[in-house]
């Protein structure tokens, strides 16, 4: 498929989405619905992933740490890797599948069953009614879910290393977290990266949904393409934001 | 009045509409008859600007669709309702939300007023009591009637029907045809019906247009349509 046509069309849609922002109040109901549906569909999976990310990274850290390294230092590594890199990227990829795939399927099936045309025929702009609310929800809800996941992951790591493994005392663990603490890193891992991911995942999902054509097969193609493309962009974005901002 | 002037439409180099000239008179039902794949849906979608013709223009109530800004086109579309081939009800909304959507988005009506209107049009189409159902819970004929309710709720001047009876059994087709006639009689709606259903044409048409391979091969009053005009319809249906 023509890569450049797609990039051009995506840019056009993006500009349209931005221009619909001035009608945020008009579409408030759709936006609230998207916030709700995003939270409900992603919280369970985010919880499971966060718990096991915390456990997994703790097991790794305790295993890799020799008797020569101070243990609070290992706690520091767990804390920083999880918040800045681990949770955001794993969650970003999972949500690329979850949100990107389901948005593309949802909007794609509306496209092939002429529901998008039906919106237009009722003088309702599909970009304002469908795309903009989803993009806003992605932009705001993904960071919130990431903050939640980071909290859960840290707690599960803390619990694992202090109570279950009894490998470090709570005081030591906390002083490890405080070591070399930078506020910007917290913004970076909890807000900046996730909001970019959320925006891109929701936008790409909507974009491929709107391009779907040719029946159920077309919807399937739109959905897988959206997942692959947004996952790739999430990984690339992860590198560049780190490179530029840290 | 809608004027269609020399409209050509291509898709990927394929000519679908080849110079359509047609006037739609107010207060009448014009039936465009043609077999499958002849560009009937494409013609209707050009009329409300969902597709843009490569050549020619559409003029609705004196306003040419060519070169209209999106906002102006949306304004003009408020005169039109479109009944899609597959009904195209919004599957994430219930029946009453489907019907209320236009009023909610474009008018300042209160919740109660909207509710009343929705009840009213559901009665017109004989679907009382289905307010809380989702489209997936409806049969094809019921969906069609809800689609008609969604269309008439904002009192459009024009209603465009895309194969309103296709896929329906005789009884449902009869109900839908009767509705088309009733909307013309009671609300003075101007309708364009595209179909390959000759029964439907005979029941609702004031004027008939025969479409073949993107061209109009006959145009006239229903009484003027002769058996011979329709031969190609049967031939093409059998040829498939
Ligand atoms: N969006 C599109 N992209 C490419 N080709 C299209 C598109 N829409 C319609 N066509 C082509 O235009 C031709 C006419 O299509 P149209 O849907 O208008 O037929 P129709 O008369 O409505 O037939 P049916 O009775 O099956 O609905 C078909 O050959 C179709 O392949
Ligand atoms: Mg058609």
Here the CATH number for the domain that contains residue B44 is 3.40.50.300
Residues B69 and B115 in one domain: no
Residues B140 and B102 in one domain: yes
Q: How many domains does chain B have?
A: 2
Query: Are the CB atoms for B162 and B40 separated by under 8 Å?
Result: yes
Residues B5 and B55 in one domain: yes
Distance (Å) from CA B43 to ligand 2 centroid: 9
Task: Tell me the per-residue pLDDT of A153-204, one tens digit each, with 9 for 90 and over.
Answer: 999 999 988 888 888 888 888 888 888 888 888 888 889 999 999 999 999 9
In chain A, the percentage of residues whose pLDDT exceeds 90 is: 67
ipTM: 0.93
Residues B151 and B164 in one domain: no
Closest by CA position to B123, among listed B112, B115, B134: B115
pLDDT at B28 over 60: yes
Q: A28: distance to nearest CA of chain B, Å?
A: 11
Residues B125 and B102 in one domain: yes
Residues B137 and B161 in one domain: no
Ligand 1 binding residues, C-beta < 6 A: B 11-12, 16, 34, 36-42, 85, 196
Pinpoint the alpha helices (H) of A25-131: 28-64, 71-80, 87-95, 101-112, 115-121, 126
Residues with CB under 5 A from ligand 2 (ion): B 41
What is the extent of the structural domain holding B233?
A: 1-79+157-169+190-240
Residue A235 CB neighbour total at 10 angstroms = 13
Confidence of residue B213 (pLDDT cuts 50, 70, 90): confident
Would you say residue B221 lies in a domain?
yes
The pLDDT of residue B239 is 56
Residues B97 and B67 in one domain: no
Q: Inter-chain contact B88–A113, Cβ cutoff 8 Å?
A: yes
Residues B51 and B162 in one domain: yes
Starting at the edge strand found earlier in the chain, the sheet holding B29-33 runs B80-83, B158-162, B190-195, B29-33, B207-212, B215-221
Residues B136 and B18 in one domain: no
Residue B171 CB neighbour total at 10 angstroms = 9
Of all ligands present, the nearest one to the C-alpha of A211 is 1
Task: Tell me the per-residue pLDDT of A112-147, one tens digit each, with 9 for 90 and over.
Answer: 999 999 999 999 999 999 999 999 999 999 999 999
Contacts of B73 (CB under 8 A, 6+ apart): B49, B65
Residue, of B136 and A166, whose pLDDT is higher: B136
CA distances from B131 to A29, A110, B126 (A): 20, 21, 12
H-helix or E-strand spanning residue A147: helix A132-159
Burial of B57 per CB tally in 10 Å (0-12, 13-18, 19+): middle
Would you say residue B23 lies in a domain?
yes
Task: Return residues 15-44 of A near B (CB < 8 Å).
Answer: 26
List residues bridging with B191 in a β-sheet: B29, B159
Would you say residue B174 lies in a domain?
no
Distance (Å) from CA A117 to ligand 1 centroid: 14
């Amino acid at each position: 498929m023509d890569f450049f046509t797609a990039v051009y069309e995506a840019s056009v849609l993006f500009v349209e989405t931005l221009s619909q922002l001035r009608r945020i109040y008009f579409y408030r109901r759709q936006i609230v619905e998207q916030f709700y549906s995003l939270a409900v569909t992603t919280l369970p999976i985010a919880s499971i992933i966060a718990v096991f990310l915390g456990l997994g990274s703790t097991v790794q850290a305790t295993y890799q740490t020799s008797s020569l390294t101070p243990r609070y230092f290992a706690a520091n590594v767990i804390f920083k890797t999880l918040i800045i890199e681990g949770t955001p990227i794993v969650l970003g990829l999972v949500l690329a599948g979850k949100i990107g795939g389901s948005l593309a399927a949802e909007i794609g099936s509306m496209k092939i069953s002429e529901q998008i045309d039906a919106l237009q025929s009722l003088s309702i702009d599909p970009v304002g009614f469908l795309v903009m609310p989803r993009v806003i929800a992605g932009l705001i809800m993904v960071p919130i879910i990431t903050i939640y996941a980071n909290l859960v992951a840290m707690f599960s790591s803390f619990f694992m290393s202090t109570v279950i493994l009894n490998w470090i005392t709570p005081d030591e663990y906390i002083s490890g977290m405080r070591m070399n603490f930078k506020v910007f890193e917290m913004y970076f891992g909890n807000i900046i990266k996730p909001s970019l991911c959320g925006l891109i995942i929701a936008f790409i999902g909507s974009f491929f949904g709107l391009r779907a054509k040719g029946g159920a097969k077309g919807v399937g193609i739109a959905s897988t393409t959206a997942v692959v493309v947004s996952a790739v962009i999430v990984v690339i974005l992860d590198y560049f934001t780190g490179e530029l901002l840290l | 009045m809608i004027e269609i002037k020399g409209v050509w439409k291509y898709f990927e180099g394929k000519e679908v509409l080849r110079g359509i000239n047609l006037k739609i008179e107010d207060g009448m039902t014009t039936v465009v008859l043609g077999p499958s794949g002849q560009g009937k849906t494409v013609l209707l979608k050009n009329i409300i600007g969902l597709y843009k013709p490569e050549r020619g223009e559409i003029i609705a109530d004196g306003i040419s669709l060519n070169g209209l800004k999106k906002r102006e086109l949306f304004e003009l579309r408020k005169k039109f309702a479109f009944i899609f081939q597959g009904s195209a009800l919004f599957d994430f909304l219930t029946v009453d939300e489907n019907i209320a959507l236009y009023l909610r988005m474009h008018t300042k009506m209160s919740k109660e007023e909207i509710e009343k209107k929705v009840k009213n049009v559901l009665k017109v189409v004989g679907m009382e009591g289905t307010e809380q159902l989702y489209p997936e819970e409806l049969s094809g004929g019921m969906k069609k009637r809800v689609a008609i309710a969604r269309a008439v709720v904002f009192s459009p001047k024009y209603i465009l029907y895309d194969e309103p009876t296709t896929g329906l059994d005789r009884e449902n087709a009869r109900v839908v045809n009767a509705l088309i006639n009733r909307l013309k009689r009671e609300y003075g709606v101007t309708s364009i019906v595209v179909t390959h259903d000759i029964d439907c044409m005979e029941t609702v048409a004031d004027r008939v247009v025969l479409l073949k391979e993107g061209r109009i091969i006959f145009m006239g009053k229903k009484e003027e349509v002769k058996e011979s005009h329709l031969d190609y319809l049967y031939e093409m249906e059998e040829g498939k």
